[in-house]
Amino acid sequence: MTTKKIITRFAPSPTGFLHIGGARTALFNYYFAKHVGGEFHLRIEDTDKARSTDEATQAILDGLDWLGLSYDGEIVYQSRRAADHAKAAKALLESGHAYRCPLAGDELDAEREKCRNAGTSFRSPYRDKNSDVGAIRFRVPDGETRLKDHVQGDITWDNNELDDLVLMRADGTPTYMLAVIVDDHDMGVTHVIRGDDHLINAARQQQIYKALGWDVPEWAHVPLIHGPDGKKLSKRHGALGVEAYRDMGYLPSSLRNYLVKLGWAHGDDELFFDDADIAKVFTLDGINASPARLDFDKMDYINSQHIAQMEESDLFTEALPFMNEVDKTEEKLKRFRAAIPTLKPRAKTLKELIVQADYLLAERPLTLEGKTAKPLEREGALQLLAALTLRLKGVEDSAWAADKLQQLLTDIATENDIGFGRIGQPVRAALTGGKPSPDLSVVMALLGKEECVGRLSDCLTALSDD
C-alpha cells in the first residue's frame, strides 16, 4: 500500500503586498508540508486582470523570500490555465451537473429578487431548459453537504441554502470557484489550509469536486487574525505587508516564530529559533478554532529573543541597512561590530539596536544641554574631567580594556575621596551625550582611546569657554 504524498499550497491574489494574515497562512501550509515530508507549492491567482499587477506579484514573491519560505516546483499562474478550467466546466455541463443560463443585467437582478422574496437560494428558471448560450451555472444537488474540517470540526449545510453559482461567465472566463478547484486538483493538493472566510466556499467546492469525480482534499480553515481590541484586523492594527515589519526591524526568523504561534500551540513552547524545530512538531490539530489577536508586545519579546540568540556577525549584517550612510565609516563600523554583544540584550528590534549604538556613532562635538549637562555643571566636574583626560592619555593601547579603565576611574574617585557617581556621571555625560549606554568602563573601551580623549577634550573646551 502506497501513501499519497501530502501537498499543500499558498494561493494569493496579486492585488497588493503579502499581508501578515496571508503570511501566516503560507507558514501553516509550509510547516505542515515539512512536518509530513510533503511539498509546499505556490500559485498566483491572477485571473482578476483589472486588479492583478506585476508589482503586487513581485511584492508577494519578495515577501516570501524575505520570510525564508521556499516553495517546491514552479509557480503556477492561474491566468495561464484557462483551457483546463474550460474543460472542467464542459465536463460538468455534459454530465448534467451544470447548465447554461442566459440571464443577465436587469433580468438576472429581477430573478434574484424573486428568489429573495420567496426566501430561497438562487435557482435559475433555465435550470431545466437546455439553453445553449449564457453563463455556465452549477446545479446544486438536493440533500445536504457534510464537511470535516481539521480546525472547525464537522459542519453540515442544507443544500437548499446554497445558490446555483456561476462556474464560467458568458464571455468564457472562469470564476474563482471553478478555477481554484481545477488548479488544486491538477496540482495534486491534498490539504487546503486557508482562512475561515472561505468556509462556505468549501461546501460549494466539495459538491463540485464530487460532481467531477475527483478526490476531495482535506480541509483546514484557520480563524482570521484580529486586532488587539478583538475587532477585524485593519491597517490601524498592523494589517501591513511583511516588508513593513522588515522595515520596523523585525527579523524574518522572529516573525515566522511569532506568526506560527499566533493561533497554533504546542504545549508551552513559545520560542522556536530553528525552522526544523517547528516543522518537527507542527500539526493541524494544534491550530486554535478561535481568532488570535495581534500582540506587538509579544512580537517585540520574541524578536528580542531571536536577536539575543543570533550570531554576532549575522546580526551585524542584518543591522547595517538601518544605519545612516554617514555612520558607515570604517571606524564607526568597527566600534559598532565590537559593541554588538553589549547591544544585543537591550534591543527589541534591529532599529533599537542602532538606537542603542547612538553613543558610539555620534558626531563630535556632542550636544550637551539640558538635563544631560547637569552633571557637568557640578562643582569640581571640570577638574575631575581634566585629571581623567590626562591619565587616559598615558594609558598604553595594549592596556585599553574595560577592567583596567574601571580600576582607573575607581582610583580617581578614591584619590579625591568622592563617591564613584561624582566622577562617573560627568564622564558618562561627556562621552555619550545622554544616550543610552552600558557600564561606563565598557563605553570607554568600545569608544577607544582616541575617541574618548577627543570627546573629553571637547567637553573641557566647552566648559572652559563657559
pLDDT in tens, the chain (466 residues): 457 899 999 999 998 889 999 999 999 999 999 999 999 999 999 988 878 899 999 999 999 999 999 999 999 999 999 999 999 999 999 999 999 999 999 999 999 999 999 999 999 999 999 899 999 999 999 999 999 999 999 999 999 999 999 999 999 999 999 999 999 999 999 999 999 999 999 999 999 999 999 999 999 999 999 888 888 777 666 557 899 999 999 999 999 999 999 999 998 899 999 999 999 999 999 999 999 999 999 999 999 999 999 999 999 999 999 999 999 999 999 999 999 999 999 999 999 999 999 999 999 999 888 888 899 888 899 999 999 999 999 999 999 999 999 999 999 999 999 999 999 999 999 999 999 999 999 999 999 999 999 999 999 998 887 6
Q: Which CATH architecture has domain 362-466?
A: Orthogonal Bundle (1.10)
Do 1-73+223-309 and 80-222 share a fold? Answer: yes
User: Given this model, what pLDDT does residue 233 score?
Assistant: 75
235 is catalytic: yes
Catalytic residue (choose from 87, 235, 344, 393): 235
* Cell numbers representing residue 176 in the block: 474563482
Question: Which residue, among 430, 5, 438, 398, has the nearest Cα to 191 in the 3D structure?
Answer: 5
The phi and psi torsions of 156 (rounded to 5 degrees) equal -125, 135
Crossing angle for the helix pair 420-432 and 440-447, nearest 10 degrees? 40
User: Given this model, what pLDDT does residue 161 score?
Assistant: 94
- Residue 103 and residue 134: Cα distance in Å, rounded? 7
pTM score over 0.85: yes
Q: Which CATH architecture has domain 1-73+223-309?
A: 3-Layer(aba) Sandwich (3.40)
User: Given this model, what pLDDT does residue 51 score?
Assistant: 84
For residue 385, CA distances in Å to 392, 399, 423, 435, 452 come to 10, 20, 8, 19, 11
Question: Which residue, among 440, 305, 459, has the nearest Cα to 359 in the 3D structure?
Answer: 440
User: Are the CB atoms for 211 and 138 separated by under 8 Å?
Assistant: yes
Q: Decide which of 3.40.50.720, 3.40.50.300, 3.40.50.1000, 3.40.50.620 is the CATH code for 80-222.
A: 3.40.50.620
In the chain, where are the structural domains located?
1-73+223-309, 80-222, 310-361, 362-466
